[in-house]
A and B are shown apart, each in its own frame.
Chain A
Amino acid sequence: MKKLTTLLAATALASMMAGAAWSKTLVYCSEASPEGFDPGLYTGGQTFDATSRTAYNRLVEFKHGSTELEPGLAESWEVSADGKEYTFKLRKGVKFQTTEYFTPTRELNADDVIFSFERQYKEDNPWNKYVAGASWEYFAGMGFPDLIEKIEKVDDLTVKFVLKRPEAPFIANLGMDFASILSKEYADKLQADGKMELLNQQPLGTGPFAFVAYQTDAAIRYKANPDYWNGKQPVDDLVFAITTDAAVRAQKLKAGECHIMAYPNAADVAELKKDENLQVLEQEGLNVAYLAYNTLVPPFDKVEVRKALNMAVNKQAIVDAVFQGAATVAKNPIPPTMWSYNDAVQDDKYDPDAAKKMLEEAGVKDLKMKIWAMPVARPYMLNARRAAELMQADLAKIGVTAEIVSYEWAEYLKLSSAKDRDGAAIMGWTGDNGDPDNFLDTLLGCDAVGGNNRAQWCNKEFDDLMTKAKETSDVAQRTKFYEEAQVIFKREAPWNTIDHSLVVVPMSKKVSGFKMDPLGIHRFDGVDIAE
């Protein structure tokens, strides 16, 4: 830390001589450049870290460090009896940021909320295609175009969302980054000045940190928002130092050039833990990695075959080899940190002999199959090839010959979702909104066959539970439905669930107030650095 302290001292001296107060700067080493600064347009975690979590807020927010929701810009809300109308009462007196490029003349009101959503689906809205190829990925991905009937302004501080059908996860979706609330006043000014593209370059919201500047591919600078409705931040300035190589990020953290770093290499974590100037926070990520069988293609249409193959694979060995301790074996399709996780479910035991017998009894001999392994490292699966090799060896022991195939990532994504895919594919998922529906229905529902449902699995019992769980907002009821669904899933085994990886955030011991976010987002509100 001596380097940073020296630099801080030098700056302090310089700024004191300039008459300014000494500023406390938090430096975060991020892993990639933001795609842009309009959170509605993108899906990259690094983009959300840099925009929605710094400059913006949402109607509801995830409680710091959990997937539970709490009031954000909306201080309360009501759901109608039929589950189709959500009425939000906005917080009074919320100010938008004042920056060098814009000074707001009014506070947050219903117009801002309506603008933030309507631009994402109303084709006649001038902002719908304000940049070439504007695609509102998450808005569409979460099914909003088919869900939202209309959004009404009841009064200046009350907004009503009318849905076409009841959808309990809707409220959790409003905590997601694409649902960030922008300033209509700012947008109108940009439109009048003929500079609409700046909305994607110079964000302006109600959030804890106001955007100052972006040095392309190098650094993003923010100033703490003095008018933040939830209290001014303990630090004065926030800087993202974009450092794409993980080993270099670790070096920067150790040298004191940044206070917090993103995504360390699994191999570096042990060493970082030993460093007496650093602390390493860990939490099970809201993710899952799995091997999806193609349940439409024999012999994988037989449950006994799928179960047998599950029992043949030593998952703990895979977790040890690929993650070096930074993951846990998965038995359910949702991670343990998610509500309604059914811990009573028993995983398929690792028993090659029993597996062999089961295959024989199912009438399967000399099975040849393909295992698809993705070529890139993903948060839920650091090395799919390695995992596939271990599976291949395990399967060989029970007389199954597996061939490993791989495609370039873009192609892999496309080909692996085909209904006639030949082979079982390794895939994974990171949760978007902390709702079990986001995993179970998105990945295993009948509607998703040919799309996100890479097992091409359609089970009426399971699907009915999904629909019932969407129709009620009663969490206790929904929990029961999802618990039942996990039992069915285990019985039918469309996947072999492999692992849930840990999210690891190493930081300087001087940092306090940083909480791990299950959604993998890096939030800096409430974070402080000791002197």
Chain B
Amino acid sequence: MAGGPKAFGPPVFQKKKGLAPMLRFIFGRLAVLIPTFIGVSIIAFAFIRLLPGDPVMLMSGERVMSPEHHAELMHQLGLDRPMYIQYFDYLTGLLSGDFGSSIVTKRPVLEDFMNLFPATLELSLCAIIVAVVLGIPAGVLAAVKRGTWLDQSIMGVALVGYSMPIFWWGLLLIIFFSGYLGWTPVSGRISLMYFFPQVTGFMLIDSLISGQAGAFKSALTYLILPTVVLATIPLAVIARQTRSAMLEVLGDDYVRTARAKGLSPFRVIGIHALRNAMIPVITTIGLQVGVLLAGAILTETIFSWPGIGKWMVDSVFKRDYAVVQGGLMLIAAVIMIVNLVVDLLYGWVNPRIRH
């Protein structure tokens, strides 16, 4: 950690004392959140209603509903009221923490979200950890060994990973590792033989809490393939981003100077260069986390992973207005928190950006 002026390296400002500036930063960001939330709420509300069809009609399928019955149900659901009244109702509900109830399952949206979000979070965290732990060293290695066969292979693999259609890749892994070799289970979060109450919603934690023999190991084995599949694209993106950021930084004067000074390659690359290369890489990681949280739909479908991605997509098909609206707001909240954390991380990594 920087502490005191350095003879070499980019100019470092004095580390500001106390929490106050950071708190001011956080509050400033929170203030901006309010208009952002309102904007998201309008988009969430409007977008689903712009789609043709309504949830009532879809409930009866091929069987055509009489217009009277249809009107009556729309009235029961409050969907025949003017748009601005429905929106106002929705907004006031949000402010009191009421995200409405699913038109299909009749359960509160927040309850379903809290049931399903931990699954998405657990998978996304595992995937991003794998992507970071493998992606950054791969990118650094490629940058340092630039132009060699190692660099070409790493970037080649990254390109393939990035271009891989997730559905196909997931199914391929299932057929090979689960079907043919029998090394991994096909789908789900844990073997059906285990049944225990959901405490945190994280299968890895809940299985440990349950104390049932073999449960944790089962949860771990069920995580392997979905994590690999979900981590593939972020890994590729992070590796490529790290490589290009490193290449830029490795060409800087201060790095040449540090080398000339006789610092070990590890210190030069791993500490001086990497620290400065991390800014664009952290941005990338932040964006990938956002993508993962909101978009694990394909992986969730293939691996029967009961998370929010699939929940959201199904609700669009069913025109389940409450779930689409509430779900979008909740996901937006999560992403905004992630962005906040990423911004704070910048400050830690590069004191010049500290607030």
Contact = CB atoms under 8 A, between A and B. Distances in A.
A473 interface: no
B77 A409 contact: no
B192 interface: yes
A439 B21 CA distance: 73
Given A131-B106, A221-B195, A413 B57 contact: yes
A413 B112 CA distance: 29
Interface string A229-255: 000000000010111110110011011
A410 interface: yes
A232 B323 CA distance: 40
Contacts of B112: 216
A111 interface: no
B255 to A, nearest CB: 49
Contacts, number: 158
Given A43-B59, A251-B174, A133 B77 contact: yes
Contacts of B116: 216-217
A476 interface: no
Interface in B96-141: 101, 103-107, 112, 115-116
A98 interface: no
A43 B105 contact: no
A41 B73 CA distance: 12
A242 B304 contact: yes
A140 interface: yes
B193 A10 contact: yes
A451 B191 CA distance: 47
Contact of B106 (A36, A242, A251, A414): A36
A254 B195 contact: no
A401 interface: no
B54 A410 contact: yes
A245 B106 contact: no
B306 A411 contact: no
A431 to B, nearest CB: 11
B310 interface: yes
Interface string A210-233: 000101111101000000000000
B319 interface: yes
Interface string A169-187: 0000000000000000000
Secondary structure at chain B's binding surface: helix, strand, loop or mixed? loop
A366 interface: no
Nearest to A254: B179
A7 interface: yes
Given A215-B306, A244-B301, A257-B186, A251 B195 contact: no
Given A141-B63, A409-B53, A243 B304 contact: yes
A205 to B, nearest CB: 19
Contacts of B195: 213, 221
B76 A217 contact: no
A193 to B, nearest CB: 18
Interface string A421-443: 00000011110000000000010
B304 A129 contact: no
Nearest to A200: B106
A35 B105 contact: yes
A132 interface: yes
Contacts of B57: 410, 413-414
Interface centre among B51, B59, B303, B304 (most CB of A within 10 A): B304
A201 interface: yes
Q: Which 10 A-B pairs have the closest CB atoms?
A: A410-B53, A217-B306, A131-B106, A411-B52, A451-B64, A133-B77, A218-B306, A252-B186, A243-B304, A216-B115
28 contacts: A7-B193, A25-B192, A36-B104, A43-B61, A129-B76, A131-B101, A132-B103, A133-B77, A137-B63, A140-B66, A141-B65, A200-B106, A216-B306, A218-B304, A239-B192, A244-B301, A244-B310, A245-B304, A248-B304, A251-B175, A252-B186, A378-B62, A410-B57, A413-B58, A427-B62, A451-B66, A452-B62, A452-B63
Given A245-B301, A410-B53, 6 more contacts: A132-B101, A135-B59, A217-B310, A217-B311, A410-B51, A414-B57
Interface of B: 51-54, 56-66, 69, 73, 76-77, 101, 103-107, 112, 115-116, 171, 174-175, 178-179, 182, 185-189, 191-193, 195, 198, 213-214, 301-304, 306, 310-311, 317, 319
